Amino acid sequence: MNMILEIKELHASVIDDTLKNGLKPILKGVNLSIPVGETHVIMGPNGSGKSSLSYVLSGHPSYKVTSGSVTFKNQNLLKMSPDERAAAGLFLAFQSPVELPGVNNANFLRTAVNSVRKARGESELDAVSFLKLARQLAKNLSFPADMLKRNVNVGFSGGEKKRNEVLQMSLLQPSFAILDETDSGLDIDALRIVAEGVNSLQSPSFSSLIITHHQRLLDYIKPDYIHILAKGRIIFIGGPELSLQLEKEGYARFLGEVNE
């Protein structure tokens, strides 16, 4: 099978200067493969390393990979800088997007889109055609028009920030998206809109990794597999029905089987 992402025995630590050796191990041997075109979900208790996994995959400078490998589209992902990973088609929808004071949202989005297009050998979008596209996509996400004029995430509500992440994803057209709790803090209507935004990207060549705590997102987005991440490792893989079981029973039954 053609894999978009293959993670093998991945060990990674967060850089922590308060510790003796400066490293706090988080991921302790993650194995995960995602075939092209599939949607995989990661669930797991708080502090199990879900967000850390998304940061390691996107190249956050606070993390250090200590062993293992990650292959993305047959390339060594760990050798690439964060912007190279973005250009290669990897997108991370942040759990808590940062604010960029003074940076106009439309200008930021256009710079991002054109950086990625340029890196992919595509022509850059001029301001007019970009704005036309951005306005249309914003409308699909029920995004008020003035959001494009405001500064990136500054003064955005939690829901607006999440929608801004999905808007960026729609504009950047990644081939692989990681959604880190994009559904958290959304009301029912916003959840549906965000899910539709994700679904609109679905194609045989689009794959995704969705980190969530809630079964309800999966009412809108149909996953191929659900993985349980606990204590820095994938401890169980199940089908779409696993989320319903977890909703009912919690993680206790699965955690009992894991040794530290």
Residues near another protein (CB under 8 A) are: 58-62, 81-83, 85-87, 91-92, 94, 97-98, 100-104, 107-108, 111-113, 115-116, 119, 151, 168, 172
Q: Is 22 left (phi over 0), alpha (psi -120 to 50) or beta?
A: left
Nearest approach in angstroms of CB 101 to another protein is 7
Q: How far is the CB of 255 from another protein (least distance, A)?
A: 31
What is the closest distance, in whole angstroms, from the C-beta atom of residue 43 to another protein in the complex?
23
Rank residues 61 and 256 by Cβ distance to another protein and give the closer one.
Answer: 61
Residue 72 or 94: the one with the smaller Cβ distance to another protein is: 94
Q: Tell the smallest beta-carbon distance from residue 96 to another protein (Å).
A: 9
Q: Least distance to another protein from the beta carbon of 53, Å?
A: 15
Task: Residue 107: name the closest of 133, 83, 131 by CA.
Answer: 131
Please give the full DSSP string across 11-71, using - where no structure is assigned. EEEEE-TTSSSSEEEEEEEEEEEEETT-EEEEE--TTSSHHHHHHHHHT-TTEEEEEEEEE
Query: How far, in Å, CA of 107 to CA of 223, rounded?
Result: 34
75 or 249: whose CB is closer to another protein?
75
Looking up tokens 């990644």 gives 174
**Residue whose CB is less far from another protein, 99 or 247:** 99
Nearer to another protein, 5 or 246 (CB): 5
